[in-house]
Amino acid sequence: MTDFTLWDIVRNLLFALRWTVLLSLVSFVGGGVIGLLVLFARIAKRRFARLPAKLYIELFQGTPLLMQLFLVFFGLGLFGISVPAWLAAGVALVLWTAAFLGEIWRGCVEAIAKGQWEASASLGMSRLEQMRHVILPQALRIAVPPTVGFSVQVVKGTALTSIIGFIELTKAGTIITNATFQPFTVYGLVALFYFALCWPLSLTSRLLERKLHVSHRHH
Amino acid sequence: MTYSFNFMWLATYYPVIVKGILITLELTIVGGVLGIALGILCAFVKLYGTAPLRVVVATYVELIRNTPFLVQLFFIFFGLPALGIRLGELEAANIAMVVNLGAYACEIIRAGIQATPRGQFEAGASLAMSRLETFRHVVLVPALQRIWPALSSQVVIVMLGSAVVSQIAAQDLTYAANYIESRTFRSFEAYSVTTAIYLILAILVRQAMAGVGRLVFPRRVSR
């Protein structure tokens, strides 16, 4: 029987923290790419493109992330693929993130004055050109604070992947607790590590938002 | 894909699902009511409290908002017994949900209060109302009305987040799904049925919040 020192606990949690960070990055980047597609479909002119995007968003925002993880984990298995936990975790989190980012960005695009669309249309731009040169650059400015704010939700969302057996920070906490019988210390440390990841993002989001408000007031 | 779907288990296991729905709803109602109450209290302290109290509330809000609900739940259920606080799984789940919603509600309600026009405070003071009376009658209700949609969304988010309380063996809807999955091995079916139920519950909770809003705020305050 070896004894766990506090440093042993911290060191092992730090090892696991890598996976939380990596999964968060993958989910955020992947979710961003698919979220952009969702955004384009959501604001498309044609109804048959808008409707599936709307359903997609409703479905992912109206059901628990945990259920989505289970469904991807067991659903992919139906096709006879043996699904490792990291793959199910990545796929589910990317799809979940995409739904939220798509909806956040739609709000930003719709906040752009209608005149901008009309002006760019009068210059003979196609819809894609309008988005690329006129709308998105302006929407991007207001989209940054809520997007950074949502990244906090992504980091916290990765904790749920511990339940399907992906060994990240929370799962490592459970494993170490089972070995050391010190749940108070271990889960306290786990919470602090998450806090260390999320708090800077929250502060950045708030700071950017304040900056944006100030610049708007001076217009 | 040679898999054939089978929902026959529903006939045997529907009572488990009904019980799970009831517990999820109980958690949501208790968490929602007490969480909003805690949020109002914290918003009041954050805006009008003394400096040390404000620091305490701000720390609480930041800690909760920047850590996962699952870890908060584990800390309360597994960690607190080290301090001599032993909780049953439902108590722990309830407390975790109240504490979690309280922090988010605090920020939402604070934003609502801060959007109150200055004239409202002055009008309250000119009627010789005390600070607390002005807060209760003049500031709080219109503030709540202003942020009710945001608060409703947060209650739905907390309801969906409550799926993880199954991890401390609280017998909610997700617990029911896990139970059925372990008995029937119909994982995909069990989880898709419960996911659909969650979707319906989310819509119902949203409607219920809108209904409460109509009851509590009968007339639209024109601004």
Report yes or no on A57 lying in a domain.
Answer: yes
Report yes or no on A18 lying in a domain.
Answer: yes
Tell me, what DSSP letter sits at residue A44? -
Its ipTM equals 0.91
Q: Which of B3, B62, B203 sits opposite A199 (nearest CB)?
A: B62
User: Which domains can be identified in chain B, with CATH numbers?
Assistant: 12-216 (1.10.3720.10)
What pLDDT, on the 0 to 100 scale, is given for residue A218?
A: 53
Of A158, A38, A95, which Cα lies nearest the Cα of B70?
A158
Which two structure tokens, joined as six digits, stand for B90? 């439902």
Q: Do A156 and B187 touch (CB under 8 A)?
A: no
- What pLDDT digit, counting tens, does each position of B119-133 carry? 888 888 899 988 888
Q: Which of B71, B82, B194 sits opposite A170 (nearest CB)?
A: B71
Could you list the pLDDT tens digit for every one of the 219 residues in chain A? Answer: 567 888 999 999 999 999 999 999 999 999 999 999 999 999 998 889 999 999 999 999 999 999 999 999 998 888 877 889 999 999 999 999 999 999 999 999 999 999 999 999 999 999 889 999 999 999 999 999 999 999 999 999 999 999 999 999 999 999 999 999 899 999 999 999 999 999 999 999 999 999 887 776 554
As a whole number of angstroms, the distance between CA B116 and CA B144 comes to 11
- What pLDDT digit, counting tens, does each position of A54-92 carry? 999 999 999 999 999 999 999 888 887 788 999 999 999
What's the average model confidence in pLDDT over B164-177? 94
Q: Answer whether residue B2 shows pLDDT above 90.
A: no
Of A17, A20, A156, which Cα lies nearest the Cα of B66?
A156
What's the average model confidence in pLDDT over B66-93? 94
Report yes or no on A140 lying in a domain.
Answer: yes
What pLDDT, on the 0 to 100 scale, is given for residue B120?
A: 86
As a whole number of angstroms, the distance between CA B27 and CA B30 comes to 5
What pLDDT, on the 0 to 100 scale, is given for residue A212?
A: 86
Report yes or no on A63 lying in a domain.
Answer: yes
Q: What residues in A contact B177, CB-CB < 8 Å?
A: 67, 70
Report yes or no on A1 lying in a domain.
Answer: no
> Which residues span the domain enclosing A22?
6-217
Q: Do B167 and A163 touch (CB under 8 A)?
A: yes
Q: Which of A78, A160, A194 sits opposite B1 (nearest CB)?
A: A78
CATH number of the domain enclosing A119? 1.10.3720.10
Residues 6+ apart with CB under 8 A from A79: B1
What pLDDT, on the 0 to 100 scale, is given for residue B207?
A: 95
Q: Answer whether residue B163 shows pLDDT above 60.
A: yes
Tell me, what DSSP letter sits at residue B79? I
What's the domain count of chain A? 1
